[in-house]
Amino acid sequence: MTTPPRQTATYLLKRFRESGFEPFARHGQNFLVDLNLLDILLDAAELGPQDVVLEIGTGMGTLTTQMAPRVAEVVTVEIDQHLFQLASEELIDFENVTMLQQDALRNKNNLHPAVLETVAEKVKAEPGRQLKLVANLPYNIATPILSNLLETPIVPVLMVATIQKELADRIMAVPSTKDYSALSIWMQSLCDVELVRVLPPQVFWPRPKVNSAIIRITPNAEKRAQIPDLTFFHTFVRALFFHRRKFLRSVIISAFKEQLDKEAVDEVLTRLHFASDARAEQLDVQTLLMLSEAFRVKVLEAQDARE
């Protein structure tokens, strides 16, 4: 298929006006109208014929129409019925595009199973296929989308997305900074992360109040292999950063109060040479991985001793 015409800002606004569409801020409906930046996003995704692309937020299909001719399949999800209708007209000729009209999330923390099942089916349809997330993400759900895709059965080989600059800063933050959080550790412990471009508000219609960024997140199999129990690690890091300013010892005692007594917690912290005034926000990713693993083993030992 030849590359379809690109949706210019003029075209997009004309279609919106004709159909009476009004953007809805709560759904993060800020459309990228600078086509050079759309190209930068597409280049960063390095799309190829083996790729199955998941796009969250079809909008008018601006990005979808450019991706479809380059890849095996696109699964695109849109919550807004009016936009879904408009996009259906734009995408009618694309046989490899599957449109879903629904919320991409089942709840605050989980992707919707129908989305995951559709994607899994497309990936398994041919040997050698791989999943990529490529999207101008609705800002209010960017965090659960990016972080939860890493815990699903089919992990993407790459995620390239437009997100709030502030969120990109949190994902890439280093220890002892205000942005360093459970999200920074989760993403950095599993992926290589790169800021592709900062986007000012005027490249979107309507203009958001804040800067945005294109981020490129590459899940790293070697990093993943360092974490024997992903769910334990995720829960551990979240618990540690829930009270980020408290001393590590008291946070861990409270987090494991059902499984470990204080002596057991102290034994691990002393063995690993943690100072009594250590705080989670000062620890780098490697140290947190080591700490999590030590407590995972300790919890298992305590369980065995009880049985």
For binding to ligand SAM (CB under 6 A), which residues are involved? 27-32, 56-59, 62-63, 77-80, 83, 103-105, 136, 138, 141
The Cα–Cα gap between 143 and 191 comes to: 15
Count CB neighbours of 213 within 10 A.
20
Q: What is the DSSP string of 3-25?
A: PPPP--HHHHHHHHHHHT----G
> Beta strand pairing status for 130-136 and 51-56?
parallel
Q: From the CB of 160, what's the least distance to ligand SAM, in Å?
A: 12
- The answer to whether the CB of 240 falls within 8 A of the CB of 182 is yes
Q: From the CB of 139, what's the least distance to ligand SAM, in Å?
A: 7
Please report, in angstroms and rounded to a whole number, the separation of the first and last CA atoms in the chain.
63
Place of tokens 């992926």: 191
Q: From the CB of 198, what's the least distance to ligand SAM, in Å?
A: 16
When the beta carbons of 156 and 265 are compared against ligand SAM, the nearer one is 156
Q: From the CB of 208, what's the least distance to ligand SAM, in Å?
A: 9
Q: Could you give the angle at the alpha carbon of 4 between the alpha carbons of 101 and 23, nearest 5°?
A: 40
- The answer to whether the CB of 176 falls within 8 A of the CB of 279 is no
Q: From the CB of 107, what's the least distance to ligand SAM, in Å?
A: 11
**Residue at 251: amino acid letter:** V
When the beta carbons of 108 and 245 are compared against ligand SAM, the nearer one is 108
Q: From the CB of 205, what's the least distance to ligand SAM, in Å?
A: 9
Q: Please, which residues have CB within 8 angstroms of residue 96's CB and are 6 or more apart in sequence?
A: 68, 71, 72, 73, 74
When the beta carbons of 57 and 156 are compared against ligand SAM, the nearer one is 57
Kindly state the DSSP code that residue 207 receives in the 8-state scheme.
P
Q: How many residues does the chain have?
A: 307
Q: Please, which residues have CB within 8 angstroms of residue 34's CB and are 6 or more apart in sequence?
A: 9, 199, 203
Q: In degrees rounded to 5, what are phi and psi of residue 105?
A: -105, 145
Cα pseudo-dihedral 299, 300, 301, 305, rounded to 10 = 100
When the beta carbons of 90 and 281 are compared against ligand SAM, the nearer one is 90
Q: From the CB of 62, what's the least distance to ligand SAM, in Å?
A: 4
When the beta carbons of 83 and 173 are compared against ligand SAM, the nearer one is 83
When the beta carbons of 22 and 307 are compared against ligand SAM, the nearer one is 22
When the beta carbons of 29 and 181 are compared against ligand SAM, the nearer one is 29
Q: From the CB of 16, what's the least distance to ligand SAM, in Å?
A: 11
When the beta carbons of 162 and 292 are compared against ligand SAM, the nearer one is 162
